[in-house]
Amino acid sequence: MGFGTWLNLQAKKLDWISIQLMKLSVFAFALMVAKLWKPILSLDWYWYALIFVIAAIGAAYKVFRKWNYERRFSMWSKSKITLIVLGAVIILGLLLVSCAPPPPTPTPTPTPALPDREEEMPAEIAFKPSEPVFDPTSPSFDPFAIETPCRELEDPNLVEEAYRHHIFASVDETLDGIELSGDQVLEIKNRRVVLNGDITLRGNARLVVENFYILWNNSYFAEYMGLVQDNAAFEAKHSVLVKGCPGNLNVYVEGQLTMDESISFFDIIPCRGSVATINSSQLVGPLGVNWPGDGPISLKVTNSRVSQIVIAFSSGEPEEVLFSGLRWGGPQSLSVSTMEGASLKVENSWIGRIDKLSRGGWVFDINEVPYVKDHWEFGTPVPDDAELGVLLNKKHYIIVDSEVDSMWLWFTIGSKVRIANWKAGRFTHWNLHQDFEVQGVGYDVTLENTSVNWVKWMICGETEVENNDNCQISPYGRDVRVTVTNSVIPHNLAMRGNENVKLINCTVPSEIAFLDARRMYAAGGHIHYLEFENTTISGTMEVASTYTRISGTVTILMEEQDVNYDWGTVEREYPLEVKDENGNPVSNAEVKLFDFENNLVWNGTTDQNGSAQFTIMFTEDNWNEKWRLEVTTKIKKISREIGFLTSTPVILSL
């Protein structure tokens, strides 16, 4: 074979290669477009571009060879052209590879920054942007290194859960409580502690913690509490304060509180006479920090992030109190003082939760529930017959040009209120006494060009709520009666004791809590009556109280994992309807109820409307068990499981 013949064979092979390159060019072009449109492929876009260019040159060579140089050049010339084209392709490919830009570095999503914040906050607390996945169950896991931005914990509940795992995995000590009095001083440094009890500081006692991780292991609302009384002081530096469950855990401060370079999931409640200083810290508990504006108190928040600041009033002589320009986010700096000697200073701080969906920010808690404080001994239930005082609130609160996360309006014992057609949003003008039917409420509230995201009705008297949305219902007191009609309650039904509540045509896509609030409120109680009528509940439930009775017709869209049944008795009433195959009521049907151990606990018969009614007593020991309901007629017997979360009426069709 001569050299020319060999070159001709190589040219034919190049023809075949060029055809394959043309096919590859189409595929490479499609990949490149897909990569640029949605970056789901593993290679970077310029590699696809390189493949496309090389394939395109091969395709061009094929076209050039077919239409031109076959007629014009000798075999040797064709071969030289082939070698030149191949050399050019190789050189171009090498140039493209050498000049290809480095893979782009992902730019982290910027987070709202506070001026000079990072310089003032230690690196251990100034969390890094989130990328790596951490393992909170590892003993070497360091919560201060959680990859989340400092002021923007992506989900406080998840981060708090990570802290819990970390403390449990490397706990140094478990305590039944901390109680100091007199001149006692307790310093705890470089420790991980689980606390199963109250924190009580009295006299001149001091509790000082540094590089300290504490899991205050409460499992339900108000199980444990903190109290800093008299001249006592609680100081936390570079520490993490975590609670056991997602609900509230309150630290009441009548003395001094200092938090420096720390993270707290507790709710800080300064009371009259207290001094609280928050510096370079995060208060991310559900309530954040409280500021009672009707008593001598000093609260200073500097270079910090606070989930919300609750501006609270519970008494006062007639006076107009003006608030203007409150907003969500930061950085914020403001100073507020009242004639009663309350002082609030916020400097260069972020007020609010992660984003405007989870909100937080500024809250108004307007209260006038009277009680005699001498009857409240911390850590013991308040007697049902505790004496009531006359701490009435006669102030008029005017909120102008502001963003308010929520208002908590209390209707005192003996009040009668009708709330109709309240909707969340921006109010050009709204006034409590003008827009609602109000009797027995001493204070007044006016909104001017102000937005409110939701409202909490704290009901201690008699109240009708109709056609509301974005609200919470929180009744408690002495013979409280509440009727809620045609409303949505997305911010919890918190039953705090001694109340009678009826929900008609309502939706509750949030928590229903039966609580023993006697440790927190002098008029709180531990007995609850809740009646449903054509209502749907679909959130969660907490039971932590002595006795609860539930009756009526309700659709329950919950699973067992949605229930936190801590303690107490729930007596649930079940209406029953028995129907035949045509939907007609079946009278005189025999009905039997067997418990989870197959013991007969009740039997009866249906009335002329095919109806009957039975009750089951639930406790923390049996609430997740199943009872069996059996219905027998002359021609048929049917049965059905009944549980704590069974919807009513129970309908059995023969």
In Å, how far from its chain's centre is CA 609? 45
Mark whether 335 and 451 lie in a shared domain.
yes
Residue 601 inside a domain? The answer is: yes
Mark whether 323 and 438 lie in a shared domain.
yes
Mark whether 194 and 74 lie in a shared domain.
no
**What is the number of structural domains in the chain?**
3
Is the peptide bond between 331 and the residue preceding it cis, with omega within 30 degrees of 0? yes
- Coil, helix or strand at residue 342: strand
Q: What does the alpha-carbon distance between residue 338 and residue 515 come to, in Å, rounded to a whole number?
A: 34
Q: What does the alpha-carbon distance between residue 349 and residue 534 come to, in Å, rounded to a whole number?
A: 46
Mark whether 176 and 46 lie in a shared domain.
no
Domain of 579: which CATH number?
2.60.40.1120
Mark whether 95 and 176 lie in a shared domain.
no
Residue 635 inside a domain? The answer is: yes
Q: What does the alpha-carbon distance between residue 647 and residue 649 come to, in Å, rounded to a whole number?
A: 6
The DSSP code for 181 is -
* Domain span at 454: 169-460
Which of 67, 99, 131 terminates a domain? The answer is 99
Mark whether 347 and 204 lie in a shared domain.
yes
Mark whether 64 and 212 lie in a shared domain.
no
Residue 393 has what pLDDT? 83
Which of 99, 114, 142 terminates a domain? The answer is 99
Q: What does the alpha-carbon distance between residue 386 and residue 127 come to, in Å, rounded to a whole number?
A: 48
Chunked into runs of 10 residues, the chain (654 residues) has average pLDDT values of: 58 63 57 46 53 61 54 50 59 54 41 31 30 35 39 58 75 91 94 90 95 84 83 93 77 91 89 90 87 88 92 84 89 86 91 69 83 42 52 85 94 92 94 95 96 94 95 87 97 91 97 79 75 97 94 97 95 96 94 97 96 97 97 91 98 91
Residue 78 inside a domain? The answer is: yes
Residue 501 has what pLDDT? 98
Mark whether 313 and 446 lie in a shared domain.
yes
Residue 506 inside a domain? The answer is: no
Q: pTM of the full predicted structure?
A: 0.71
Residue 485 inside a domain? The answer is: no
How many Cα atoms occupy the beta-carbon half-sphere of 16 within 13 Å? 5
Task: Record the tokens describing residue 143, joined without a space.
Answer: 């919560």
Residue 645 inside a domain? The answer is: yes
Mark whether 65 and 174 lie in a shared domain.
no
Find out whether 205 and 183 touch, Cβ atoms under 8 Å.
yes
Residue 130 inside a domain? The answer is: no
Mark whether 307 and 404 lie in a shared domain.
yes
Residue 643 inside a domain? The answer is: yes
Contacting residues for 351 by C-beta, under 8 A, at least 6 apart: 306, 308, 309, 327, 328, 329, 330, 332, 360, 361, 362
Which of 47, 73, 99 terminates a domain? The answer is 99
| Residue 319 burial (CB count, 10 A) | 12
Mark whether 229 and 85 lie in a shared domain.
no
Distances in Å between the Cα of 393 and the Cα atoms of 158, 269, 311, 436 are: 40, 20, 14, 18
Mark whether 361 and 239 lie in a shared domain.
yes
